[in-house]
Amino acid sequence: MSRVDVNIMGQSYSMLCRDGEERALREAAIYLDSKMKVIRDAGKVKGNDRIAVLAALGVAAEFLSVKSPQGPLSDLTILEVKQKISAMHTVLDSALTPQENLF
């Protein structure tokens, strides 16, 4: 494990990560810091906790809208894939439930 020190909105954080993942963690902290500063600088939201939640929601929305660059699911966002998987679970559950009564 490696210790990484990052700074987000003027606050220092010391975190552990797996060896070799230090750069990714630093880049994630820089990205989050920039998102939070944009929200803070807009001046409409007060309090670092609220700014952090809004930034996290923005990052989550970005993540869920990402599409795979290639492959059979490349035309779907991550959110759409999750929705399709959930729909498949529902279909499977409804098809398998009557089977449980046989045993």
pLDDT tens sequence across 11-52: 999 999 999 999 999 999 999 999 999 999 999 899 999 999
Q: What does the DSSP 8-state code read for residue 12?
A: E
Question: Tokens representing 85?
Answer: 């998987």
Whole-prediction pTM value?
0.70
What distance in Å separates the CA atoms of residue 84 and residue 92, rounded to the nearest whole number?
12
* DSSP per-residue string spanning 79-101: HHHHHHHHHHHHHHHHHHHHHHT
